[in-house]
Amino acid sequence: MTEVLVVDDEPSMLRALHLNLTARGYQVITAEDGTSALNKFGLHEPAVVVLDLGLPDIDGLDVIRAIRTGSQVPILVLSARVGSNDKVAALDLGADDYVTKPFDMNELLARLRAATRRGSPDAGRRKVVAFADVTVDLDSKQVLVAGEPVHLTRTEWHLLELLLHNPEKLITSRQLLIALRGQPDHTDPSYLRIYMAQLRKKLEPDPARPKHLLTEPGMGYRFTS
């Protein structure tokens, strides 16, 4: 049973897709804006995402970026924008396919099959990251510190996952906020600091002088092993 997340702000389109996809045996999760899309993505971890670019709250390209910072899930973009600029931008940000509205439903389903077919082969490999006396199993979502299992809350885990998926790479506060909450601005920037502090308290040997979960002042955060 393949789970697919469908994101579109038009209810009629959402209904049409829901109907056709469930008829083909997919399990469908729907979202009408970027915030709930990212939320539901984090909760369900679907096998494929169908994403309309024209969302009311967040730019669709930012949604792609947010998903891609933490996942390789196939993304099929659905858009009314026919210009090649949008296509190139979306594809280069990590989208796997780009279909312009109006579209043929059979074609869309075929493209969806093509996208999921690719994603499946490497689903079985096990990713484990280790640093200091910490071991993180990204598959089973388990964290061991000095051999002892440590419990992380959902948000803590989500944040850690984002950082670990991009080792040595700086992730801006904006990216993190979009991925965690969907809202890039209007949010108290101290939000991130609390969770970084909690992660460090649980994972770093000396939380006051972090060696792996680093702050880049004015820029964002970076994980390094």
Q: Footprint of DNA on this chain (CB under 7 A)?
A: 151, 153-156, 173, 180-181, 187-191, 193-194, 196-197, 200-201, 207-208, 210, 215, 217-219
Nearer to DNA, 4 or 213 (CB): 213
Nearer to a copy of itself, 56 or 102 (CB): 102
Strand partners, 216: 220
Q: Which amino acid is at 165?
A: H
Q: Which does 206 bind (CB under 5 to 8 A by kind): a copy of itself, DNA, none?
A: none
Nearer to DNA, 135 or 187 (CB): 187
Q: How far is the CB of 157 from a copy of itself (least distance, A)?
A: 7
| Residues found in the chain | 225
The residues that touch a copy of itself, with contacts defined as CB under 8 A, are: 72, 84-85, 87-88, 91-92, 94-98, 104, 106-107, 109-111, 113-114, 117-118, 121-122, 139-142, 151, 153-154, 157, 166, 168-170, 216-219, 222
Q: Which does 12 bind (CB under 5 to 8 A by kind): a copy of itself, DNA, none?
A: none
Nearer to a copy of itself, 29 or 63 (CB): 63
Q: How far is the CB of 82 from DNA (least distance, A)?
A: 36
Nearer to a copy of itself, 172 or 187 (CB): 172
Q: How far is the CB of 174 from DNA (least distance, A)?
A: 11
Give the C-alpha distances (Å, rounded to integers) separating 122 from 21, 72, 95, 163: 24, 10, 18, 21
Q: Which does 122 bind (CB under 5 to 8 A by kind): DNA, a copy of itself, none?
A: a copy of itself
Q: How far is the CB of 71 from DNA (least distance, A)?
A: 18
Give the C-alpha distances (Å, rounded to integers) separating 141 from 127, 135, 137, 182, 212: 10, 11, 5, 22, 19
Q: How far is the CB of 85 from DNA (least distance, A)?
A: 30
Q: Are 75 and 94 in contact (CB under 8 A)?
A: yes
